[in-house]
Amino acid sequence: MRKIEKQMVAAVQNLAKWRLDNTSVSPIDDVNCAIYLHGHEIALINQRSGLVMVNENTLKAYPTNTTKSRLRALGVDVTTRKGVTYLYGKPV
């Protein structure tokens, strides 16, 4: 995991507002926060349950290595095979 991703995960765990380069974490309330990459929301996280809700529209629009790396750091199963992006084994 990259240094920026470790800091991102720490901010999520602490529900802290955080920003570095192209990635940011914004708390929504006492248990939820949003993760942004280049200003586009890539995921919502419920810190209490650990549930990560991936914004599939953003993933479809920007299936970059950086987007997938940030999601993987959050525990999301996202891969690309033969040019097709898969989220938890299903094509996006």
Domain range list for the chain: 3-91
User: Is residue 65 pLDDT above 90, yes or no?
Assistant: yes
Residue 27: how many CA atoms within 13 Å on its side-chain side? 14
What tens digit of pLDDT does each residue of 10-57 get? 999 999 999 999 999 999 999 999 999 999 999 999 988 989 999 999
- Give the DSSP letter of residue 31: S
Provide the whole-model pTM.
0.93
CA 86, CA 4: separation in Å to the nearest integer? 24
pLDDT at 62 over 90: yes
Average pLDDT over residues 76-87: 96
